[in-house]
Amino acid sequence: MSTKFWKNSTVYQIYPRSFCDSDGDGVGDIRGIISKLDYLKDLGVDVIWLSPVYKSPNDDNGYDISDYKDIQPEFGTMADFDELLSEAKARGIRIIMDLVINHTSDEHEWFVKAKAGDEKYKNYYIIKKGKDGKLPNNWGNFFADCPWEPFGDPKNEEYYLHLFSKKQPDLNWYNPEVYDEIVDIMRFWLDKGVAGFRCDVINIIYKNTFADGKKQLVLTGQEHYLSTDGCHKILAGLRRDCMDKYDAFTVGETVFVDLKEARDLCDESRRELDMVFAFEHMECDQIGVKWFKTKFKPSKLMKIITKWQNGLDWNTCYFENHDQPRSVTRFVEGGEYRAVGSKMLIGLIFSLRGTPFIYQGQEIGMTNGAFNSLDEIVDIESHNVDKMAKSLGIIQPFRWKLINKTSRDNARTPMQWTSEEGAGFTSGAPWLKINPNYKDINVERDLADPDGIIAFFKKMNAQKKSSDTLLYGSFRELYQGKYVYAFEREYNGEKLVAVFNFSTKKREMPIKIQGRALISNCEQSTDGTLRPYEFTLFAKEESV
């Protein structure tokens, strides 16, 4: 049995801006989080992943950091943070921070000094000369923008690289001083007692070359920076020089990672990362790029899940984060199945082999935002996509259709705590429109229902924690149909079978299971069928 605490932990992601506002300014804050620690404890959360709370001009909601050792004033103070850490600890909850080290904010003092001509700090960033009046290369940008922005005196024809917003200049990982600065920052937080880091776009930090890339629909140039040898080396270094000295873990956000790369990145003998977030399953309902969604086909999702369960020893099991539209809106049809469907998805996350990551609001089945137009969307990515689509001649109603479905703000709407005005999130004007369905979908109401999603979440979480088979058992797919999925987990001879019906119709039970139902999101039917969106976990005695 594993002794690594992160293998038997349930992680809950907090997006601080949208979690709980304690002072009525419409923005969530640290004191708001402190006020909800008992709620998180009651859910059975072991680790909180805190999206960035550092000082930031907020061009990308905190993922543009201007001071890695200070707290964003609208979120509170360092004293508030310290209190959060100790109050969480008192409840047995650890906290991991978001480590954003591919880029800083352009308002970080390093970049400010670089712009003022300080050579030392110029070398902290990727600054290149243009070529014959043209940009340094043909690369693309994650936010549908140009990745090069003029730097300093136009006479010099210099540009800095930003793979995200122009207010997020990429750091130069060729420079050992950058490495030392980051180690220092990591130690600062680890010494305070944080339990590790979720490492933002960590597999793109080291660019092999700045040559032109092979032309792609988006992100031309990616072959020059995805999981490069240089990146592997840096990660092994950070592990050796820093992480290994603490009881802490890292989970890398690894964009476009494939199985081989994921295996290398978290191979225990290479000692780089502990876990990675892969995205292939999050791409199951898109065509080419994430802004083009297609009809969700459950079998595609199952296939990818099986592939990753078989291919990687330890997965992160998640369906949501602050960049993804809500899972129940994506994967469950029809409003009337929202609750049972949300429970099924939670059942799936907890039945798989790996560490479960739950995003705030998922435990009450929050749905995509209810935005009427782009004016109600804050996310920089959505606005850039609109501009890009416009420049391609795509007409407005179509652009809005794409953005409305895919915008990251779908996941960022304020947490729905109660049915009062402001949804119990704020007493002021919220920074982003609250979904009007808060009157029905909220924590208070769900908690009061013994059959609520939270009640199921708690049961499922407890089931996982108390079962070595669910925690550490092997995975074997038993059935994969168009809508029905079944797999087995086995440990020391104990076998558990999880069965799922991803549809609004009754479906034949695909396998005969002799055993008893341990947990389910509905009452089992007696005619050998699965109910719509049924999830049942059986303890198997014998199967035919």
Q: In angstroms, rounded to a whole number, what is the distance separating the alpha carbons of residues 50 and 183?
A: 19
By beta-carbon proximity to ligand ISL, the closer residue of 255 and 266 is 255
Residues 446-505 within binding reach of ligand ISL (CB under 6 A): none
Residues 66-105 within binding reach of ligand ISL (CB under 6 A): 100
Residues 387-416 within binding reach of ligand ISL (CB under 6 A): none
Number of other residues whose CB lies within 10 A of the CB of residue 120: 11
Q: In angstroms, rounded to a whole number, what is the distance separating the alpha carbons of residues 28 and 19?
A: 5
- The candidate with the shortest Cα–Cα distance to 409, out of 12, 13, 17, 11, is 17
Q: Is 200 among the residues that bind ligand ISL (CB under 6 A)?
A: yes
By beta-carbon proximity to ligand ISL, the closer residue of 22 and 203 is 203
Q: How far is CA 472 from CA 277, 345, 494, 502, 512, in A?
A: 19, 20, 11, 25, 24
Question: Do 415 and 18 meet the contact criterion of CB atoms below 8 Å apart?
Answer: yes
The contact pattern for ligand ISL, residues 312-331, with x = CB under 6 A and - = no contact, is ----------xx--------
Q: Any idea which residue has 């805190």 for tokens?
A: 50
Q: Is 201 among the residues that bind ligand ISL (CB under 6 A)?
A: yes
Nearest distance from C-beta of residue 493 to ligand ISL, angstroms: 40
By beta-carbon proximity to ligand ISL, the closer residue of 293 and 297 is 293
Nearest distance from C-beta of residue 484 to ligand ISL, angstroms: 27
Among 15, 19, 63, 425, binds ligand ISL (CB under 6 A): 63
Nearest distance from C-beta of residue 513 to ligand ISL, angstroms: 36
Q: Is 164 among the residues that bind ligand ISL (CB under 6 A)?
A: yes
Nearest distance from C-beta of residue 255 to ligand ISL, angstroms: 5
Number of other residues whose CB lies within 10 A of the CB of residue 541: 10
Question: Do 403 and 386 meet the contact criterion of CB atoms below 8 Å apart?
Answer: yes
By beta-carbon proximity to ligand ISL, the closer residue of 142 and 197 is 142
Q: For residue 530, give the amino acid letter.
A: L
Burial class (CB in 10 A: 0-12, 13-18, 19+), 229: exposed
Nearest distance from C-beta of residue 399 to ligand ISL, angstroms: 18
By beta-carbon proximity to ligand ISL, the closer residue of 122 and 322 is 322
Q: In angstroms, rounded to a whole number, what is the distance separating the alpha carbons of residues 422 and 14?
A: 19
Q: Is 255 among the residues that bind ligand ISL (CB under 6 A)?
A: yes
Handedness of CA 279, 55, 25, 79 (dihedral sign): positive
Looking at residue 470, what DSSP letter applies?
Answer: H
Catalytic site positions: 200, 253
- The C-alpha angle 527, 531, 535, rounded to 5 degrees, equals 115
Nearest distance from C-beta of residue 44 to ligand ISL, angstroms: 25
By beta-carbon proximity to ligand ISL, the closer residue of 406 and 501 is 406
Q: Is 60 among the residues that bind ligand ISL (CB under 6 A)?
A: yes
Nearest distance from C-beta of residue 432 to ligand ISL, angstroms: 14
Among 15, 124, 139, 142, binds ligand ISL (CB under 6 A): 142
Nearest distance from C-beta of residue 49 to ligand ISL, angstroms: 11
By beta-carbon proximity to ligand ISL, the closer residue of 107 and 468 is 107
Question: Do 342 and 452 meet the contact criterion of CB atoms below 8 Å apart?
Answer: no
By beta-carbon proximity to ligand ISL, the closer residue of 274 and 285 is 285
- The candidate with the shortest Cα–Cα distance to 159, out of 150, 167, 169, is 150
- The C-alpha angle 363, 365, 367, rounded to 5 degrees, equals 135
Burial class (CB in 10 A: 0-12, 13-18, 19+), 274: buried
Q: Is 50 among the residues that bind ligand ISL (CB under 6 A)?
A: no
- Residue ranges binding ligand ISL (CB under 6 A): 60, 63, 100, 142, 164, 200-201, 253, 255, 279, 282, 290, 322-323
